Structure 1
Amino acid sequence: MIAIGLEGSANKIGVGIMLHPKNGGPAQVLANIRHTYVSPPGEGFLPKDTAQHHRAWVVKLVKAAIKEAGISVDDVDCICYTKGPGMGAPLQSTAVAARMLSLLWGKDLVGVNHCVGHIEMGRQVTGATNPVVLYVSGGNTQVIAYSSKRYRIFGETLDIAVGNCLDRFARTIYISNDPAPGYNIEQLAKKGKRLVEMPYTVKGMDCSFSGILAHIDSLATSLGLNGPDAAALDESNQTEINGDGDADASGKITRADLCFSLQETIYAMLVEITERAMAHVGAKDVLIVGGVGSNERLQEMMSLMARDRGGHLYATDERYCIDNGIMIAQAGLMAYSHGFKTPIEESTCTQRFRTDDVYVDWRD
């Protein structure tokens, strides 16, 4: 069976085509194409601008994906789209495109939970069977384990998502949004040499990131590392700190130090709550999914923790971690193969769609 997946919950519009052989063989990725709306440094992406971007690109990407996959419309079994969660206007644009293709081609429609799409794509690519899942992206932060036909949420963010925390700090210090603010923070963090103390907020199984964001924003402002001119600073143009305990009084702090310190602190928080969930359910393996999951430092820290527990880390690269169409096609096709369809009159979208609201009928 072949499914086309449309993903457009945030600033990326992705089209993917997945093939599941009817003889039970391994699934194949036939096409995985996406285009990103990139806003200027210091700015985020507005819903209306992002929706306009998706409308302008979705038809081009569908045509390109079909050509790359080497299939015809007659080969397609169903059209899968992101029902939620996500940003309202981009979700609506994607849902309209999916309904248009369904009506135009006479194909069944399947609405997919964005979070479940990430999990199923991660399981498919890595071969992980039943790991604890850390789902980290621009809009979501959750620790998840499967039980009784549901993906159960053991812990999550109490305010903003970890990816949103990174993105908003990137705006403060005017890091480029191309290809992604989180990726550029990661590259800058590799040059950091000083660990600056940050608030560490873990409450049981949950995390909070708004406090650390407010702290590091204030610190960057006090050091003159924010604003448009900050992007022009290089490693030789350092700013003296005031010796108030954020670092050694004789030291100097850079944008790279702040990025390094932010990453180390928030990723340590994520490793802590993930390990607590693994201990609770008796799991040894962990799977990281979502856009932030492609961060090499997070993978390194999580791998060390899993290895100490006698387990293994499963992770993927940016092709599968960052929002894409094949993850929607994969999850949609698994649901479709068990009889799930979305009637055209119910093909809505929603900004709030909990991971544990989905009945995972395709798993034992």
Structure 2
Amino acid sequence: MINLDKHIKPSRDYYLALGLEGSANKLGIGIIKHPKGELTATNRAEVLSNVRDTYISPPGEGFLPRDTARHHRNWVVRVLKDALAVAGLVGRDLDCICFTQGPGMGAPLQAVVIAARTIAQLWDVPLVGVNHCVGHIEMGREITGAQNPVVLYVSGGNTQVIAYSKNHYRIFGETLDIAIGNCLDRFARTLKIPNDPFPGYNIEQMAKRGKNFVELPYTVKGMDLSMSGILAFIDSLAGDMFAGNKNKLLVAADGSSVTPEDLCFSLQECLYAMLVEITERAMAHVQLQQVLIVGGVGSNERLQQMMAQMVQDRNGSVFATDERFCIDNGIMIAHAGLLAYRMGQTNELWDTVCSQKFRTDEVYVNWRDD
């Protein structure tokens, strides 16, 4: 058993960490409390606050790095004050300040790490850099109780199938071009779907009203997948639909015209089937019976249903979290950072440079020994 209590303060039997997340358009700050000893089903971490503010761009537009970074700079102090107030703490109560070190968008990452450096020096509290993907995984494991699952990580910037082995999260398969969340977001722009609360959610609601399945390219390459060709194909179908090009409009089997809702339904079915296939192949390879879905797209009900059907056929279990922990948030950074801090990991100021390409399998996971 790993000793997680190397740095506990003599005056108390718990740890407190604040996490700052800002790798994309979500600015999140959360505070978590770890009890002394190993985290178990009866000795759980406690979420003290989890505050988030989202930069929402107009329909048909994505969020640019400079605008997103401006949003984070404008809101970080207010979100920080709210998180501390909800937790009933002051800065000097904290054991460490954790921040997203990557991957993500460069300008938003930089805006948040500057805030983290500033408050760390003001309060004389150590800094801990956190891999965004590992934050999702560790928070998912803590909330759901999944022990050693195959992880499907699906978000706006990442699509990976992951399993743990020898102190690293190993990537068994991933996207070769764009991430699934980015694919959904870009199609939402084509349809001029609102970005509030987020594009993938609005596509999901439209897909529930779709009835006719339109066959799309299905691009699985071994354990990897590709989505740029699918996006280009369905974008062309939507373009013909909006242009009113009658010679190219699709007609369903019952003679009715294919609708935007049908296209959303078809896109979801195709993409999620690809994800289920590579996840099942990873389960067979590593001989595990649990699947944990993390990342913003992981909140999609249809993806959870399709994954549950596959896992049930293998006599396994599927785990997922709700939008509080699935969508980017500060508490996942606080939790993963505190796990690292308890093992003695901290970052000096010069070692807080963010990386847009900080890979999941680069992290040394020394808080696990299973």
* TM, length-normalised to structure 1: 0.94
What amino acid does structure 2 have at the position aligned with 1:93? A
What amino acid does structure 1 have at the position aligned with 2:343? H
Match of 2:207 in 1: 189
> How much does 1:241 deviate?
6.5
What amino acid does structure 2 have at the position aligned with 1:362? W
Q: Is 2:30 the partner of 1:12?
A: no
Distance 2:95 2:249 in 1: 63
- For residues 128-207 of structure 1, the aligned pairs below 5 Å read 128-207=146-225
Distance 2:44 2:165 in 1: 24
Indicate the SS of the match to 1:253. Answer: coil
Partners of 2:26 and 2:53 within 8 A in 1? yes
> Unpaired runs of 5+ in structure 1?
226-238
Deviations for 1:308-345, whole angstroms, at most 9, x for unmatched residues? 00001000111100000000000000000000000111
Deviations for 1:278-304, whole angstroms, at most 9, x for unmatched residues? 000001110000000000000000001
> How much does 1:346 deviate?
1.1
Indicate the SS of the match to 1:174. Answer: coil
Match of 2:12 in 1: none
Deviations for 1:210-262, whole angstroms, at most 9, x for unmatched residues? 0110000000001117xxxxxxxxxxxxx796588774382211111000000
Match of 1:93 in 2: 111
Distance 1:243 1:63 in 2: 55
Distance 1:243 1:88 in 2: 41
Distance 2:249 2:81 in 1: 58
Match of 2:365 in 1: 360
Distance 1:21 1:285 in 2: 26
Match of 1:229 in 2: none
Distance 1:224 1:71 in 2: 53
What amino acid does structure 2 have at the position aligned with 1:257? D
- The farther-off stretch of 21-30 and 216-225 is 21-30
Partners of 1:86 and 1:352 within 8 A in 2? yes
Distance 1:109 1:256 in 2: 46
Q: Is 2:88 the partner of 1:70?
A: yes
Deviations for 1:20-74, whole angstroms, at most 9, x for unmatched residues? 0125531000000100000000000000000000000111111100110112223
Partners of 1:196 and 1:246 within 8 A in 2? no
Deviations for 1:77-115, whole angstroms, at most 9, x for unmatched residues? 000000000000000001100000100100000000000
Q: Is 2:280 the partner of 1:271?
A: no
Distance 2:249 2:299 in 1: 34
Match of 1:103 in 2: 121
From 305, 309, 323, the counterpart of 1:304:
309
Deviations for 1:162-207, whole angstroms, at most 9, x for unmatched residues? 0000000000000000000000000111000100110100000001
Partners of 1:243 and 1:250 within 8 A in 2? no
Distance 1:13 1:96 in 2: 14
Q: Is 2:338 the partner of 1:333?
A: yes
Partners of 1:18 and 1:326 within 8 A in 2? yes
CA RMSD of aligned residues (A): 1.4
Distance 1:203 1:318 in 2: 30
- For residues 203-214 of structure 1, the aligned pairs below 5 Å read 203-214=221-232
Indicate the SS of the match to 2:169. Answer: strand
Match of 1:236 in 2: none
Indicate the SS of the match to 1:83. Answer: strand
Distance 1:241 1:280 in 2: 48
What amino acid does structure 2 have at the position aligned with 1:289? V
Distance 1:154 1:82 in 2: 23
Deviations for 1:263-285, whole angstroms, at most 9, x for unmatched residues? 00000000000000000000111
Q: Is 2:39 the partner of 1:21?
A: no
Match of 2:4 in 1: none
Q: Is 2:293 the partner of 1:288?
A: yes
* TM, length-normalised to structure 2: 0.93
Distance 2:23 2:301 in 1: 24
Identity of aligned residues (%): 67
Indicate the SS of the match to 1:123. Answer: helix
Match of 1:316 in 2: 321
> How much does 1:123 deviate?
0.2
Match of 1:230 in 2: none
What amino acid does structure 1 have at the position aligned with 2:225? C
Partners of 2:249 and 2:257 within 8 A in 1? no
Distance 2:189 2:149 in 1: 34
What amino acid does structure 1 have at the position aligned with 2:367? W
Partners of 2:207 and 2:264 within 8 A in 1? yes
Partners of 1:240 and 1:252 within 8 A in 2? no
Match of 1:79 in 2: 97
What amino acid does structure 1 have at the position aligned with 2:261? A
Aligned residues: 351
Partners of 1:83 and 1:91 within 8 A in 2? yes
Partners of 1:240 and 1:253 within 8 A in 2? no
Closer, same or farther: CA 351–184 of 1 in aligned 2, 3 Å: same
Partners of 1:335 and 1:361 within 8 A in 2? yes
